[in-house]
Amino acid sequence: MPDRYDLPAHFRWGAATAAYQIEGAVEEDGRGPSVWDTFCARPGAVRDGHSGAVACDHYHRYTEDIALMRGLGLDGYRFSIAWPRVQPTGRGAVNPAGLAFYDRLVDALLEAGITPLPTLFHWDLPQGLEDTGGWLDRDTAHRFADYTALVTDRLGDRVPAWITLNEPFVHTVYGYALGIHAPGRTLMFEALPAAHHQLLAHGLAATVLHDRGLEVMLANNLTAVEPATASPADAAAADAYDTLHNRLFTDPVLLGRYPDLTGLGVPDDLYGAIRPGDTELIHTPGLDALGLNFYNPTRVAAPTAPGLPFDLVDIPDVPHTAFGWPVVPEALTRLLLTLRDRYGKALPPVTITENGCSLTETTDPDQPRIDFISAHLHALARAVAEGIDVRGYYTWSLLDNFEWAEGLHRQRFGLVHVDFTTQRRTPRASYAWYRDVIARHRGTR
């Protein structure tokens, strides 16, 4: 497949990571515990009993990692800030030593000519906040706005654009509904107040960011939903799933209202979480760009058993990643066109904030990852040709890392292989390939 893509001249090339997945150093310089430290200690919660306690030791090796980014020629690097480093219990005074790490990181990135794109929350809530209810407690949204102010007071002079939250859908469903991720609650639909409080946190933080003249993004995991058959029952199930996965987390931000939740069978006020004025707080600050984390489409059928209003079914006859996720690049084009149809002028420019492929341990051959990224870049170029304003692409991930409940070894997403015993980094074939893609496109600017 040719590695030239019809993308705009200003298109930004990047790579993404997240704090708990790479930093390690969980007890250093005054960092407080996060829900992920607690969850990893729970027997059976994470594959092989792994945790992010050391992960890629990026806290100590960030200089080496920035050299790898520079070698790729990245325009931008998406990383996340660990809230419990900045405020060890999630409240009160700043921990200067923790914030100083991000200060060094930002300076080193700028020195390397790479624009930092921080995410303020990528799932590592301070345990102190979880102890008072976590995202089920409305007050956490206000604490997030305070934390946003502390961080941007320090870094806002050098960092122009900020992502508030990473994937509130996945955090709500995996963390609060199903218990697969931290904090490990199994509330099913009663987890949805956690969704609303995250969206409220986004809105309050967006106001803090805009007041400081900074750009605001939200990184949503969105999927192209397809009914398994043309039957009305499958269509209704697909619609319910689309509402839960996509619309619930995007409509309030872009349109200022929640979607119709009847098909999900949940109350309109999300179990009393939504108060008068909340949707304005979420919507009014606006979004400068929508971050889109895209991995795969989702095929949905009518439920075969009582409980949920949908069944998720596999998409056969396509390649699958090590995670078992179907590889259907054209679904990215379809999703972007759906977003345009759905939101029209309310759809801001889009940046792909995550997209990538997990393979098993081997460093080489790495061809399936190259094929995955290449095909998704073509799919993106097709959406651009249809008039969608796509500004950049941050591949997941720079490094192999701690893949949440899957632990360290199983799902390898990195352009760079990491040996978690020696911490040796070995660029894969996809690293050289991505470097060449970036160089070639830059040459045509």
Q: Which is nearer to ligand FCB, 166 or 351 (CB)?
A: 166
Three-state DSSP state, 397 = coil
CB of 85 to ligand FCB, least distance (A): 17
Q: Which is nearer to ligand FCB, 95 or 397 (CB)?
A: 397
Q: Which is nearer to ligand FCB, 65 or 403 (CB)?
A: 403
CB of 249 to ligand FCB, least distance (A): 13
CB of 125 to ligand FCB, least distance (A): 14
**How many angstroms separate the CA atoms of 409 and 26, rounded?**
20
Q: Which is nearer to ligand FCB, 59 or 396 (CB)?
A: 396
Q: Which is nearer to ligand FCB, 180 or 187 (CB)?
A: 180
Three-state DSSP state, 313 = strand
∠ at Cα 405 (218, 375), nearest 5°? 55
CB of 18 to ligand FCB, least distance (A): 5
**Structure token digits, residue 335:** 């999703």
∠ at Cα 267 (264, 269), nearest 5°? 125
Residues 9-68 that bind ligand FCB (CB under 6 A): 18, 21
Contacting residue, 65, 130, 167, 288, with ligand FCB by CB under 6 A? 167
Q: Which is nearer to ligand FCB, 37 or 403 (CB)?
A: 403
Number of Cα atoms under 13 Å in the Cβ half of residue 318:
17
Q: How many residues bind ligand FCB (CB under 6 A)?
A: 12
Q: Before 374, cis peptide (omega within 30)? A: no
Dihedral angle computed from the Cα positions of residues 385, 388, 392 and 395, in that order, rounded to the nearest 10 degrees: -80
User: Can 167 be counted among the known catalytic residues?
Assistant: yes
Q: Does 221 bind ligand FCB (CB under 6 A)?
A: yes
CB of 417 to ligand FCB, least distance (A): 16
Task: Return the closest-CA partner of residue 34 out of 101, 100, 80, 76.
Answer: 80
Q: Are strands 311-313 and 298-301 parallel, antiparallel or unpaired?
A: antiparallel
150-158, 165-173, 369-377, 378-386 -> range binding ligand FCB (CB under 6 A): 165-173
Which entry of 23, 130, 226, 354 is annotated as an active-site residue? 354
CB of 297 to ligand FCB, least distance (A): 15
x-or-dash string of contact with ligand FCB, 390-419, rule CB under 6 A: ------x------xx--------x------
Contact indicator for 166, 83 with CB cutoff of 8 Å: no
**Residues paired with residue 412 on neighbouring β-strands, in sequence order:** 359
Contact indicator for 155, 118 with CB cutoff of 8 Å: yes
Q: Which is nearer to ligand FCB, 288 or 403 (CB)?
A: 403
How many C-beta atoms surround the C-beta of residue 363 within 10 A?
A: 16
CB of 375 to ligand FCB, least distance (A): 17
Contacting residue, 170, 261, 335, 408, with ligand FCB by CB under 6 A? 170
Which entry of 23, 130, 167, 226 is annotated as an active-site residue? 167
∠ at Cα 346 (345, 350), nearest 5°? 95
Dihedral angle computed from the Cα positions of residues 187, 192, 195 and 196, in that order, rounded to the nearest 10 degrees: -140
Helical segments of 212-284, H only: 232-242, 248-255, 278-283
Interface residues toward ligand FCB, by CB under 6 A = 18, 21, 166-167, 170, 221, 293, 354, 396, 403-404, 413
Known catalytic residues are 167, 354
